[in-house]
């Protein structure tokens, strides 16, 4: 009896330690760019992989404690990564540093999807959502300051303290800004992540999330669309909204709530339109939207290239690659620069990178791992709606692209994919038939 009690105490300590590790991973994901730009610019390069030791600790400690056992997704991912590592060193580019940089994607970060899903529960997800909403408010204020500040200002410093600024040309003399992140893609992922929580708490009231916080977060989310000057943020929010509408087919009683959300969004947008900062940002955003649509083939071009990432193009363009590929890590920005001084040796699409690095056979296996996982998540999340657990389904609106076709060569995109995937699995614990097969 005493030994069981001691074991329970030890187990609770391990869980607490692992949860603290997950929280550390989250905060580093959000503020890694701030460290690289403002706090420790001289360490910008090593800070690129600052989350890797945390991921390693979570994997080793959870396996050691018997809390997590690698499933067939992870075992398969580790196996093909090991094969690709040998192929890289003996018939590929041969650079061990670039190879290990590429290896960390599937070996260190991919398993965190399941570890977070195992260690966190839905209460942890709600607590993290509350913290995220407060961070989101501060982030949007920062984005507004960056938007209206010159690129030479301290708030717009680039990675490593670059005085040229961190923004990308947007239009009308304004720049797309990254918030606390190193690059704008991090801010885009962040707002996609946040939009899931905002929409969810309007559908399903939770006493832990105050109405005041939710209203302010909603104002900030709608303001962030033009302030970010990102069409991807706009379309990500649209996808979340479409997933929300689809819940009506399972729960028709949600129709009134969804109509209420649409009305509330209209009121917020109308209110924001009275503020000059929003008027300026909206005009600039509309101008950028028109210009980008003309140059990239309109909305179809954005959806096919940006979101689907040229999935079919990955196969049509890369079938002539070496059987074993050119080597893992070479398709990453850092790896390509280190070896050749060039960015993106392969297609910028994720599937093209996988096939280019790993070869056609192993590359397709890597794609199938992610495809099967996303399909399983969608199925389980859809079933959870019957039990009024809407969060997993809304998470799918962000996760299915982030995992299936997200550009994991970029550390921030990788981080948001695995973290949001883990939260999706954790949120499924509110359902009876949870994640048995995932």
Torsion of CA 400, 28, 213, 255, to 10 degrees: 0
**Residue 359 maps to a domain:** yes
**Which regions of 330-372 does DSSP assign to beta strands (E)?**
none
* Beta-bridge mates of residue 171: 174
Q: 58, exposed or middle or buried, with CB in 10 Å at 0-12, 13-18, 19+?
A: buried
Per-residue pLDDT of the chain (438 residues; tens, 9 = 90+): 444 544 554 468 899 999 999 999 999 999 999 999 999 999 999 999 999 999 999 999 999 999 999 999 999 999 999 999 999 999 989 999 999 999 999 999 999 999 999 999 999 999 999 999 999 999 999 999 999 999 889 999 989 888 787 877 777 788 899 999 999 999 999 999 999 999 999 998 888 999 999 999 999 999 999 999 988 899 899 999 999 999 988 888 888 888 998 999 999 999 999 999 999 999 999 888 887 666 665 555 555 555 555 565 555 554 456 788 899 999 888 888 888 766 555 666 888 899 999 999 999 999 999 999 999 999 999 999 988 899 999 999 999 999 999 999 999 999 999 999 999 999 998 654 444 456
CA atoms within 13 A on the CB side of 122: 15
- Which residues make beta-bridge pairs with 169? 175
**Residue 293 forms part of a structural domain:** yes
Separation between Cα atoms, residue 83 and residue 88, nearest integer Å: 9
Please give the pLDDT value at position 10: 47
* Structural domain total, the chain: 1
From residue 356, alpha-carbon distances to 200, 323, 351, 375 in Å are 38, 9, 8, 24
Q: Are 320 and 266 in contact (CB under 8 A)?
A: no
Does 381 fall in a domain?
yes
Residue 330 to residue 164: CA distance in whole angstroms:
27
- Measured in whole angstroms, the distance separating CA 195 from the mean position of its chain's CA atoms is 12
Q: Which residue has the tokens 């509350």?
A: 130
The range of the structural domain enclosing residue 147 comes to 2-430
CA atoms of 169 and 413, how far apart (whole Å): 21
In a domain, residue 361? The reply is yes
Rounded CA-CA distance 196/199 in Å is 6
Alpha helices in 1-71 (DSSP H): 2-34, 52-64
pTM value surpassing 0.85: yes
Is residue 301, in this structure, part of any structural domain at all?
yes
> 435 in a domain, yes or no?
no
Q: What is the pLDDT of residues 287-320, one digit of tens each?
A: 888 876 666 655 555 555 555 555 655 555 544 5
184 occurs within a structural domain: yes
- For 118-224, list the strands marked E by DSSP: 168-171, 174-176
- Is residue 357 within 8 Å of residue 329, measured between CB atoms? yes
The token pair at 366 is 């890597």
Task: Give 174's strand partners.
Answer: 171
User: Under 8 Å CB-to-CB from 75, ≥6 apart: which residues?
Assistant: none
Long-range contacts of 292-299 (CB under 8 A, 24+ apart): 292/231
**Could you tell me which residues are beta bridge partners of residue 176?**
168
Residue 223 and residue 140 in contact, taking contact as beta carbons nearer than 8 Å: yes
363 vs 327: CA distance, rounded Å:
11
Computed on alpha carbons and rounded to an integer, the radius of gyration of the chain in Å comes to 22
Beta bridge mates, 175: 169
User: What number of residues does the chain have?
Assistant: 438
- HSE toward the beta carbon, residue 137, CA cutoff 13 A: 13
For the record, the structure tokens of 179 come out as 């918030």
pLDDT at 11: 66
Q: How far apart are CA 336 and CA 389, in angstroms?
A: 43
- What is the secondary structure of 301-341 as a DSSP string? HIIIIIIS-SHHHHHHHHTTS-TT-S-TTTTSHHHHHHHHS
Separation in Å, CA 304 to CA 266, 313, 319, 356, 429: 29, 10, 20, 20, 34
- Please report whether residue 436 resides in a domain: no
Q: What confidence score (pLDDT) does residue 308 get?
A: 55
Contacts of 312 (CB under 8 A, 6+ apart): none
Which ranges in 229-303 belong to alpha helices (H)?
A: 231-246, 255-272, 276-296, 298-301
Residue 437 has what pLDDT? 53
Phi-psi region of 251 (alpha: psi -120 to 50; beta: other; left: phi over 0): beta
Q: Are 198 and 218 in contact (CB under 8 A)?
A: yes
């Amino acid at each position: 009896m005493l030994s069981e009690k001691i074991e329970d105490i030890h187990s609770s300590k391990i869980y607490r330690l692992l949860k603290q590790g997950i929280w550390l991973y989250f905060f580093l994901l959000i503020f890694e760019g701030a460290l690289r730009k403002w706090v420790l610019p001289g360490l910008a390069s090593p800070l690129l992989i600052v989350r890797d030791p945390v991921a390693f600790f979570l994997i080793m400690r959870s396996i050691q404690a018997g809390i997590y056992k690698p499933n067939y997704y992870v075992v398969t991912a580790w196996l093909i990564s090991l094969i690709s590592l040998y192929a890289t060193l003996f018939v590929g580019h041969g650079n061990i540093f670039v190879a290990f940089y590429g290896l960390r994607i599937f070996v260190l970060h991919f398993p965190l999807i399941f570890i977070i899903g195992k260690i966190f529960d839905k209460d942890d997800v709600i607590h993290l959502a509350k913290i995220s909403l407060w961070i989101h408010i501060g982030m949007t204020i920062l984005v507004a300051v960056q938007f209206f500040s010159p690129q030479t200002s301290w708030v717009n410093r680039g990675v490593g303290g670059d005085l040229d600024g961190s923004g990308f040309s947007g239009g009308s003399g304004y720049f797309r800004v990254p918030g606390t992140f190193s690059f704008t893609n991090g801010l885009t992922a962040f707002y996609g992540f946040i939009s899931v929580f905002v929409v969810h708490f309007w559908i399903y009231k939770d006493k832990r999330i105050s109405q005041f916080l939710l209203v302010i977060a909603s104002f900030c989310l709608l303001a962030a669309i033009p302030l970010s000057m990102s069409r991807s943020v706009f379309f990500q929010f649209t996808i979340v909204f479409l997933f929300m509408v689809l819940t009506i087919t399972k729960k028709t009683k949600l129709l009134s709530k969804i109509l209420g959300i649409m009305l509330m969004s209209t009121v917020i947008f109308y209110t924001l339109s009275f503020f000059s900062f929003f008027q300026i940002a909206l005009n600039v955003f509309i101008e950028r939207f028109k210009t980008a649509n003309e140059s990239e083939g309109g909305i179809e071009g954005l959806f096919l290239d940006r979101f689907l990432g040229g999935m079919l193009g990955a196969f049509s363009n890369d079938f002539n690659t070496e059987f074993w590929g050119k080597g893992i890590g070479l398709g990453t920005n850092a790896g390509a620069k280190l070896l050749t001084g060039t960015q993106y040796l392969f297609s910028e699409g994720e599937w093209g990178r996988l096939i280019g690095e790993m070869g056609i056979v192993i590359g397709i296996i890597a794609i199938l791992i992610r495809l099967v996982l996303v399909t399983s998540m969608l199925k389980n999340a859809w079933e959870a709606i019957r039990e009024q657990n809407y969060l997993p389904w809304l998470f799918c609106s962000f996760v299915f692209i982030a995992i299936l076709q997200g550009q994991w060569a970029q550390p921030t995109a990788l981080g948001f994919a695995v973290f949001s995937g883990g939260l999706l699995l954790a949120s499924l614990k509110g359902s009876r038939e949870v994640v048995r097969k995932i």
